[in-house]
Amino acid sequence: MSASSALWLSAKGAAFSLGDAPTTAPGPGMIAVRNRAIAVNPVDRMLPAIGDLITPWLRYPAILGSDVAGEVVAVGAGVTRFRVGDRVLGHAVGIEKDRNDPAEGAFQTVSLLLEHMASPIPDGLAFEQAAVLPLGLSTAACGLFQPDFLALQPPQADPPAQGETVVVWGGSTSVGANAIQLAVAAGYEVVTTASPRNFDYVLGLGAACAFDYRSRTAVRDITAHLRGRRLAGVLAIGAGAIRAGIDIAGASQGRRFVAVATPPAAFDRVKPGPGRILQLVPAVFGMLTANVALALRARTAGVTTKMIWGGSLLGNAVGPMIYADFLPSALAEGRFRAAPPALVVGEGLGAIPAALDRLGQGVSAQKVVVALPA
Ligand SMILES: NC(=O)c1ccc[n+]([C@@H]2O[C@H](COP(=O)([O-])OP(=O)(O)OC[C@H]3O[C@@H](n4cnc5c(N)ncnc54)[C@H](OP(=O)(O)O)[C@@H]3O)[C@@H](O)[C@H]2O)c1
């Protein structure tokens, strides 16, 4: 393996900086991947400012990032699914509590991936497009399939109709695009929300119908659609999604469970550096009051809510179920799309901070990606 470089976060609240990365051989059950494309996620923007709240265990210097696609350059002991030279995508889990290892972060030229959190990329799927999948896919899978969330039946090639409906609030997000496809692949009807300009997009991913999340009648309209149907649960993505999900589940027959991807308060305005505490206090207060109000609303409606952690599948059966059993053939056979479309904003690790700024400006049914040419 040749020398590797990385985009380091040297300390809590520091700015990103480019530097060398040690060449680490993959351990048992791991592969080393020379990254050819990296996608960025909202959490990558939040960690420099509020990493002490989200990932208090994180050791510095750290290498952030979750979404990679590239070529296998080394395999560890016991690896059977991959060989050197294979094209793969994978969820880099370096910030996870049980890993906490910069060598397993995405923002570097060579990342170590767990074999069971990686999938081959079929011919014809570009690295840049493959890189859109991992964290969105993992988060959706955690909410839909983990036993302590919606506990849906597993996705498969020819699923039997389950006779139940999943509500994906926020279907045009990266998480939502994956959730729609996974729930459909598991045999469920999917009702979703998006801006009207993205209705065709979410219907194309398999949703049965779409509603505008900004409409004042969205909750009522979805509840009306669910009348006579059996709810399998709600996946709540986007601002306001938890409250909407509670109201929908509380008015429906079936599983009154809301799996939550988006926390009830935004921390976007909190920036690292001086003044952080002053920005943090109202955000934390907003989170606490929103949590209390939503807990009361859920209790009154007889609804259970639970926050998803998109990396939790790495330690349970859902990780291999998605990355080893389902995704490889589903992608190769065109049963699952790498969605949303990639928005490639630059080349090289040095382009990642600007990519994070671009994500902060907002995207619509797109994933911000940085290419790493060979
Ligand atoms: N808990 C976890 O482990 C975890 C992991 C990953 C992501 N997340 C969270 O999940 C959310 C989605 O992340 P992402 O990367 O998938 O986002 P994203 O793709 O960047 O989100 C962009 C999309 O958000 C939609 N949107 C904006 N406001 C919305 C609202 N109020 N309700 C529903 N949809 C709305 C927009 O839809 P239109 O363009 O159609 O208007 C747009 O397409 C974020 O809050 C993120 O922090 C959580």
Domain 137-307 has what CATH class?
alpha beta
Q: Is 12 exposed, middle or buried (0-12, 13-18, 19+ CB in 10 A)?
A: middle
Sign of CA dihedral 195, 196, 199, 200: negative
Q: What is the CA(299)–ligand 1 centre distance, in A?
A: 25
42 lines ligand 1 (CB under 6 A): yes
The alpha-carbon radius of gyration of the chain (Å, integer) is 20
363 lines ligand 1 (CB under 6 A): yes
Q: Would you say 342 and 39 are in contact if contact means Cβ atoms under 8 Å apart?
A: yes
Q: Would you say 180 and 188 are in contact if contact means Cβ atoms under 8 Å apart?
A: no
* Rounded Cα–Cα distance for residues 64 and 225 (Å): 41
Q: What is the CA(182)–ligand 1 centre distance, in A?
A: 17
The protein residue whose alpha carbon is closest to atom 41 in ligand 1 is 195
139 lines ligand 1 (CB under 6 A): yes
pLDDT score of 155: 98
Domain positions in the chain? 4-132+341-371, 137-307
Residues contacting residue 110 through CB under 8 Å, at least 6 positions apart: 1, 4, 21, 23, 32, 33, 34, 35, 73
| Fold type of domain 4-132+341-371 | Quinone Oxidoreductase; Chain A, domain 1 (3.90.180)
Q: Would you say 354 and 327 are in contact if contact means Cβ atoms under 8 Å apart?
A: no
* Size of the chain in residues: 374
pLDDT score of 176: 98
pLDDT score of 144: 99
143 lines ligand 1 (CB under 6 A): no
Mean pLDDT by 10 residues, the chain (374 residues): 83 92 94 98 93 93 98 98 98 98 98 98 98 98 98 98 98 98 98 98 98 98 98 97 98 98 87 83 90 97 98 98 98 98 98 97 98 94
Cα distances (Å, whole numbers) of residue 305 to 80, 138, 185, 250? 38, 19, 24, 11
Report the largest interatomic distance among the alpha carbons of the chain, rounded to a whole angstrom: 60
Q: Would you say 111 and 33 are in contact if contact means Cβ atoms under 8 Å apart?
A: yes
Q: What is the CA(86)–ligand 1 centre distance, in A?
A: 31
| pTM for the predicted model, two decimal places | 0.98
